Amino acid sequence: MATTDSLEETTVEVFNEQIHGGVTLPDDEGYDEARTVWNAMIDREPALIVRCSGTADVITAINFAREFDLRLAVRGGGHNVAGTAVCDDGLVIDLSPMNSVRVDPDSKTAYVEGGATWGDFDHEAQAFGLATTGGIVSTTGVAGVTLGGGLGYLARTYGLAHDNLRSMNVVTADGELVKASENENADLFWGMRGGGGNFGVATSFEFELHEVGPEVLAGRVLHPYEAASDFLRQYRDFMHDAPDEVQAYAAFVRGNPAMGLPEPLHGETLVGAAVLYSGDVEAGKEALRPLREFGDPLADTIQPVPYTAHQQSSDELYQEGHRNYWKSHFLDELSDNAIDTIVEHADPLPTAFTTVFFEWMGGAIARADPDATAFPHRDATVSFTVAPKWTDPAMDEELTDWAREFFEATAPYATDDVYVNYLSDDEQERAKAAYGDHYDRLIELKRKYDPENVFRTNQNLDPGV
């Protein structure tokens, strides 16, 4: 792979003239901002950041990177914890200027550019009381979430984000724009839904929408750490029987003023669940009753709220600019022994914004044909993630060790599998497990669409294996 040192200044100038959006170089104002991603642990210095205004810029950038054999990275929302949106020395295709969302309420369709966030998406769709499954933090990119899978409050009702895709436009490694759908380039459409950014740059998506809200029954219940064992057992039993309209993410968090808790609880390790009922509010009150009647909650904020408000309710907890390290896997079953181990390790949470969270699967995720898309974890019960968050670089080792030890302690209760979008920077060897039973088929597809591995700054499917 060439380095950009070998590029002539004039070559870069000519390239710059062909780009409508703009090219940011290391000496340019705004360079540091342009290379910054959500996870402050990632400190990479690309040689060229191409802020694409449209498909033409994407094609030009891919062709340039291929011609000069430059490492290439693709940035959607910039939220991937492994920081794969940026690379050292090479070229970054930054799609953030391409963030338009257009909704056709009659056909219940959203047309979404490759750099839009879920905040952009929900804002437009909710103007018509429509939504589809999307990430639960509004600043996260539609593209990265969707291409890897797409868990969210609506997933048990409507499937993964990418189960709701009708088509997408993709610029492939040879700089060709193609459409991918069930009817056109169906193999690519299959692989892009779970295979992440391995096959091309998705410049736009066409999503099916559903009637949701604009007001939904949603909020949080919080309990003291001392109730954690019983709460998690009750959560597990509740979710096993819950209707598809219910999604509840259990979590350990530390109390803070934004949770509406009294001062003595600020900083305390708490357990609870963030909940959404996607259907009728009155039906939701009945469906959520068992979860809400448990014990003596410190807070119960579940009430009719705008869907967009609930979609933004975790933004502060997962704000940008902090250092992050995630360790995640699917648990076989949330057994009593698994719960006891988790409870033992969860207190104290080491920093104010550290979380440990459970994402229940099932419902429409599990009902889809396991081969419908490249996402291989349809039968998983619950995804479990340890997510320390801190600001002081001096704490890097302590906090990553904490996550690793917690993760190792829960390994006896886990499958070998992991959601590809939750892998950290040092976990490339787990990518195979993340692609699961679909790995071989994905490698074949990679050999067809990207034999030179142009798209390699990701959870990579190496065509050379």
Applying CB under 6 A, the residues found at the interface with ligand FAD are 38, 74-81, 84-85, 95, 114, 135-137, 140-141, 143-145, 147-152, 196-197, 201-202, 318, 421, 457-458
Rounded CA-CA distance 376/256 in Å is 37
Type of residue numbered 131:
A
Q: Compare residues 244 and 450 and give the one whose CB is closer to ligand FAD.
A: 450
Indicate the residue whose CB is closest to ligand FAD: 144
Q: Compare residues 4 and 458 and give the one whose CB is closer to ligand FAD.
A: 458
For the bound state, the minimum distance from the C-beta of residue 152 to ligand FAD, rounded and expressed in Å, comes to 5
The secondary element (H helix, E strand) that includes residue 290 is helix 281-293
Q: Compare residues 85 and 382 and give the one whose CB is closer to ligand FAD.
A: 85
Q: Compare residues 39 and 410 and give the one whose CB is closer to ligand FAD.
A: 39
Among residues 447, 448, 415, the alpha carbon closest in space to that of 433 is found at 415
For the bound state, the minimum distance from the C-beta of residue 141 to ligand FAD, rounded and expressed in Å, comes to 2
For the bound state, the minimum distance from the C-beta of residue 318 to ligand FAD, rounded and expressed in Å, comes to 3
Is the distance from CB of 219 to CB of 302 less than 8 angstroms? yes
For the bound state, the minimum distance from the C-beta of residue 14 to ligand FAD, rounded and expressed in Å, comes to 26
Alpha carbon separation from 123 to 96, 106, 151, 155 (Å, rounded): 17, 17, 19, 19
Rounded CA-CA distance 183/340 in Å is 49
Question: Residue 439 is encoded by which pair of tokens?
Answer: 């790995």
CB neighbours of 38 closer than 8 A, spacing ≥ 6?
77, 78, 79, 80, 81, 139, 320, 324
Q: Compare residues 38 and 407 and give the one whose CB is closer to ligand FAD.
A: 38
CA dihedral for 369, 372, 373, 376, sign (positive or negative): positive
Q: Compare residues 173 and 342 and give the one whose CB is closer to ligand FAD.
A: 173
Q: Compare residues 205 and 294 and give the one whose CB is closer to ligand FAD.
A: 205
What phi, psi does 27 have (nearest 5°)? -90, 0
Q: Compare residues 294 and 360 and give the one whose CB is closer to ligand FAD.
A: 360
Question: Residue 384 is encoded by which pair of tokens?
Answer: 């479990």
DSSP 117: B
Q: Compare residues 81 and 248 and give the one whose CB is closer to ligand FAD.
A: 81
Helices H, strands E: what count in the chain?
15, 21
Rounded CA-CA distance 130/211 in Å is 5
Q: Compare residues 77 and 297 and give the one whose CB is closer to ligand FAD.
A: 77
C-alpha gyration radius of the chain:
22
Q: Compare residues 234 and 421 and give the one whose CB is closer to ligand FAD.
A: 421
Task: For residue 341, count CB atoms less than 10 angstroms from its CB and return exposed for 0-12, middle for 13-18, buried for 19 or more.
Answer: middle
Angle in degrees, CA 218, 350, 118, rounded to 5: 35
Is the distance from CB of 212 to CB of 122 less than 8 angstroms? no
Which residues, listed in sequence order, are joined to residue 359 by a DSSP beta bridge? 249, 383
Rounded CA-CA distance 376/108 in Å is 28
For the bound state, the minimum distance from the C-beta of residue 461 to ligand FAD, rounded and expressed in Å, comes to 11
For the bound state, the minimum distance from the C-beta of residue 160 to ligand FAD, rounded and expressed in Å, comes to 8
For the bound state, the minimum distance from the C-beta of residue 16 to ligand FAD, rounded and expressed in Å, comes to 22
For the bound state, the minimum distance from the C-beta of residue 145 to ligand FAD, rounded and expressed in Å, comes to 4
Which residues, listed in sequence order, are joined to residue 207 by a DSSP beta bridge? 110, 165
Is the distance from CB of 250 to CB of 271 less than 8 angstroms? yes
What phi, psi does 282 have (nearest 5°)? -65, -40
For the bound state, the minimum distance from the C-beta of residue 282 to ligand FAD, rounded and expressed in Å, comes to 27
For the bound state, the minimum distance from the C-beta of residue 28 to ligand FAD, rounded and expressed in Å, comes to 21
Length of the chain measured in residues: 465
For the bound state, the minimum distance from the C-beta of residue 136 to ligand FAD, rounded and expressed in Å, comes to 4
Rounded CA-CA distance 350/405 in Å is 13
Q: Compare residues 173 and 201 and give the one whose CB is closer to ligand FAD.
A: 201
For the bound state, the minimum distance from the C-beta of residue 37 to ligand FAD, rounded and expressed in Å, comes to 6
